[in-house]
Amino acid sequence: MTFSLCMIVKNEAEILERCLDSISDLMDEIIIVDTGSTDQTKEIAKKYTDKVFDFEWDDDFSAARNFAFSKATMDYIYSADADEVLDEENHEKFRMLKEALLPEIEIVQMYYTNQLEFNTTYNFDEELRPKLYKRIRTPVWVDPLHESVRLDPVVFDSDIKIKHCPTSEHQNRDFAIFQKEIAANGKLSEKLQKMYARELFISGSDNDFLTAEPYFKKRLDKDSSDELIMHDVCVLVKCARLRDDSDAMLYAAGRALAADDTPSEVVFELGEFYRGRHNYHEAVMWYYNAAFETMPILNQKYNTLFPFMGLHVTYVILGDREKAAKYGTLMREYQ
């Protein structure tokens, strides 16, 4: 099988060479689409390929990737970002995959790793993601009668691990694109709405939350799935706490507490709310529940590091040295 590498880049001079050195020899074609670099990114890319294209950036990653894919001519397309690295062991696994890949396989998934180390939005240290795609898919009829064309792709889960090693965070860019999409279309897709909430809880500033509040408040009464509603509620509870708004806190937290599985994010924010009002014993109860009685849906730290930190600080205020030391130890372990 032959492979096309497709990348979209912008100002990646610091890391592009590292990425291409780890993967370029496995590729039969390299396509790099630049979306407006002002550094040496394009010059570096041209050392590896003559297929370097310009694409005018319009805050749409799908449009840029579709353009890159349209330039591919090989059997399969490998999609990579500049902050990815393939080490020696996984380089060899990739080479073996290329030699043995069966033509009926349409998508190959690989493990994306190191995510917790770099505080990304996925909350997993390792996660399978589709990375290699068959360029031309042939329709296949299935079933001996009542026949139909198979719609689900044939997916192979490989054991190849790709290291994700970013040098900067992109939350400001992402939050701006979320807001632009909301302004243009009035709503986000279900996937993007979940990702917006997740990114807020992992890397959002107080101002980012308050900017997002009107959208999630509007969605709370329109979303039908329990999962989406819990995402909305988590954002609104945090915003109510930031504004010290008791009525908004009662409304949003009440929606979550009435559910079968209240998220740790909501319970932790109640602890923060009561500690901010100097009701320390009430805060302790909610922090404890965040740590030991609930599970997070957006950020793992909301039932580990954050409530342990809250318990440690609150017990320090209460003068209980033994419990302050206990939760201080747990806090440092998770840090």
Q: 187-229 pLDDT, tens per residue?
A: 999 999 999 999 999 989 999 999 999 999 999 989 889 999 9
Neighbours of 269 (CB within 10 A): 27
Unique residue bearing structure tokens 């909610």: 286
Mean pLDDT of 161-165: 90
Q: 106-133 pLDDT, tens per residue?
A: 999 999 987 555 555 555 678 899 999 9
CATH 3.90.110.10 fits domain 171-334: no
CA–CA dist 7, 71 (Å, integer):
11
Q: What share of the chain in percent tops pLDDT 70? A: 96
Architecture per CATH, 3-164: Alpha-Beta Complex (3.90)
Q: 15-47 pLDDT, tens per residue?
A: 999 999 999 999 999 999 999 999 999 999 999
3-164 and 171-334 in the same fold: no
CA–CA dist 212, 206 (Å, integer):
10
Mean pLDDT of 144-152: 90
Q: Please answer whether residues 108 and 101 qualify as being in contact, where contact means their C-beta atoms are separated by less than 8 angstroms.
A: yes
Contacts of 161 (CB under 8 A, 6+ apart): 87, 90, 110, 111, 113, 126
Mean confidence (pLDDT) of the chain: 93
HSE of 44, CA atoms in CB hemisphere, 13 A: 21
Cα dihedral value 266, 270, 275, 276, nearest 10:
90
pTM score: 0.79
The predicted pLDDT at position 173 comes to: 82
Q: Band of the pLDDT at 176, cuts 50, 70, 90?
A: very high
Where do the domains of the chain lie? 3-164, 171-334
Helix or strand or coil: residue 213? helix
The predicted pLDDT at position 170 comes to: 64
